[in-house]
Amino acid sequence: VIALSKPTLSLALVLGSLATGDRVDNLRANAAALIAGEALYDQLGDTAQLFAYPRPTPSSVGADSKWSYEQRLANKKGAARTLYAEMREASPWNKCPLCHHRPVGTLDHYLPQKIYPTLALVPLNLIPTCRDCNWVKQQFVAASEAEQPLHPYYDDFAADDWLQADLVEGPGAPLVFRAVPLAGWTGVQADRVKKHFGDLGLNDLYAANAGAEVQAIRARLRELLAVAGSDAVSEHLRSEADSRASDITDPWRSVAYSAWGSSDWFCAGGFDID
Ligand SMILES: [Zn+2]
């Protein structure tokens, strides 16, 4: 997960930007309760307890929050569309903070708006993500701390630390990626990262990209092997891995170069087998 700073936008500012109408008036009349909900959200988020956020009972405030999100915030012609755009652009290089790879295409309600409509407009609950990651999450609601999806405003599990790959010595030299918990993590933290990795299908995503990368660099490796031998191939790949290690986007790349560079089989020509 790419850790993002909490949005500087507050719910109060959003409520003040929704133009006018009965539904917006209803929200403003109930602003104190909505803002108390935002404060509770932040308190639970800071201690990784958002699964315990109380489910609101159906109300006009919930329905009007949801309506205002759709019509005034997300709608391209909505009065608060600039705030939506500002939140959507918060991730570096427009990369989805959940998969580190695809471009941001939407805002995801961390606690789904269908079940938590009074949080529909709360900036802390709105995360810029790609459409694929958003689709996977759907209406999922965690029943325990360990089931909670990772939250880019509250969690910092940068994938360059826990992502590893094993090389399969065979045609195409495929890599199998996995999430490896770090020594200092609690069991709950390990469960959350493994679930994140599995649910979002990150092995499939990274393995496909790594497979394409082998094709892209094959001619260069072939030439290096012929001219300078397999040690030179290994040195080249390791140096590429080091150079990419500080790239917070596409962490699969550094992990892949490292796995290739440390495989004698790959460096001696395994990269060239179809
Ligand atoms: Zn994504």
Query: How many whole angstroms from 98 Cα to the centroid of ligand 1?
Result: 5
What is the model's pLDDT at position 193?
95
Query: How many whole angstroms from 102 Cα to the centroid of ligand 1?
Result: 5
Query: How many whole angstroms from 131 Cα to the centroid of ligand 1?
Result: 7
Query: How many whole angstroms from 18 Cα to the centroid of ligand 1?
Result: 29
Query: How many whole angstroms from 266 Cα to the centroid of ligand 1?
Result: 30
What is the model's pLDDT at position 161?
83
**In whole angstroms, how far apart are CA 87 and each of 4, 102, 104, 197, 237?**
11, 17, 11, 24, 38
Query: How many whole angstroms from 199 Cα to the centroid of ligand 1?
Result: 11
Structure confidence by residue, pLDDT tens digits, 176-232 = 999 999 998 999 999 999 999 999 999 999 999 999 999 999 999 999 999 999 999
Percentage of the chain surpassing pLDDT 70? 99
Query: How many whole angstroms from 203 Cα to the centroid of ligand 1?
Result: 13
Query: How many whole angstroms from 116 Cα to the centroid of ligand 1?
Result: 22
Query: How many whole angstroms from 1 Cα to the centroid of ligand 1?
Result: 10
Query: How many whole angstroms from 176 Cα to the centroid of ligand 1?
Result: 19
What is the model's pLDDT at position 10?
97
Residue 159 predicted with pLDDT over 80: no
What is the model's pLDDT at position 246?
82
Beta strand pairing status for 163-167 and 175-179? antiparallel
Residue 44 predicted with pLDDT over 70: yes
What is the model's pLDDT at position 160?
65
Query: How many whole angstroms from 107 Cα to the centroid of ligand 1?
Result: 11
Query: How many whole angstroms from 97 Cα to the centroid of ligand 1?
Result: 6
Mean pLDDT of the chain: 95
- The more confidently predicted of residues 9 and 245 is 9
Who contacts 99 (Cβ-Cβ below 8 Å, separation ≥6)?
Answer: 130, 132, 133, 200, 202, 205
Are the beta carbons of 159 and 3 closer than 8 angstroms? Answer: no
Radius of gyration of the chain (CA): 23
The pTM of the full predicted model, rounded to 2 decimals, is 0.93
What is the model's pLDDT at position 18?
96
What is the model's pLDDT at position 192?
95
Query: How many whole angstroms from 169 Cα to the centroid of ligand 1?
Result: 29
Point out the least confidently predicted range of 76-85, 130-139, 229-238.
130-139
Query: How many whole angstroms from 134 Cα to the centroid of ligand 1?
Result: 7
Are the beta carbons of 151 and 2 closer than 8 angstroms? Answer: no
DSSP secondary structure string, 237-269? HHHHHHHHTT-SS-HHHHHHHHHHHT-HHHHTT
Structure confidence by residue, pLDDT tens digits, 84-137 = 999 999 999 999 999 999 999 999 999 999 999 999 999 999 999 999 999 988
Query: How many whole angstroms from 240 Cα to the centroid of ligand 1?
Result: 25
What is the model's pLDDT at position 156?
86
The residue-averaged pLDDT of 251-270 equals: 97
- What is the distance, to the nearest Å, from the Cα of residue 77 to the centroid of all Cα atoms in its chain? 27
Query: How many whole angstroms from 138 Cα to the centroid of ligand 1?
Result: 13
Q: Which helix (H) or strand (E) holds 189?
A: helix 187-199
Residue 253 predicted with pLDDT over 80: yes
What is the model's pLDDT at position 158?
74
